[in-house]
Amino acid sequence: MSNHIFIATMKPIEDLKYVFERYNFGIGSGEDYRIGCNLPLTLPYVYEIYGYEKLSLISFLEEFMEFGDVVEIYEYWEGQALPESINVPKEARTINLLQRTYKDEFGEYQFDKRNWMEELATRTVVSNRSVTTFVKY
């Protein structure tokens, strides 16, 4: 059984090498998985990411996303222990990078403006049970 982390974006990520060099995680096309698996992602550009740390992923999203952007992240498990795709909408979370908020099934939380990235890194940002949606508006 193996897992894959996918990120779906509204616009293409132009320089994948830059992402690796700047944020120290790998990123490549996830289109084969979009076609072959039942991924619950709705945005047009799909990438697989690997070897990431939460803080570096959050930093990348903060730089990459512009006002009005949306990014989805989902963890897909291959193998027999979990179904191909689990999507439990009640467990979905929305993270607003502009407002510095985290919303999940238990409520909405406001992060401190000075250390919001560190606070967010302590929360669940990637799940195999539902899509995490990052917004910037």
Q: Are 93 and 84 in contact (CB under 8 A)?
A: no
Q: Are 68 and 120 in contact (CB under 8 A)?
A: no
Helix (H, G, I), strand (E, B) or coil at 118: helix
With pLDDT > 90 as the criterion, what percentage of the chain qualifies? Answer: 56
User: Which residue, among 38, 56, 71, has the nearest Cα to 137 in the 3D structure?
Assistant: 71
Q: Which residue has better confidence, 83 or 125?
A: 125
Q: What is the per-residue pLDDT for 34?
A: 77
- Confidence band for 8, pLDDT divided at 50, 70 and 90: very high
pLDDT digits (tens, 9 = 90+) for 61-103: 999 999 999 999 998 877 644 454 556 667 789 999 999 999 9
User: Which residue, among 19, 36, 123, has the nearest Cα to 76 in the 3D structure?
Assistant: 36
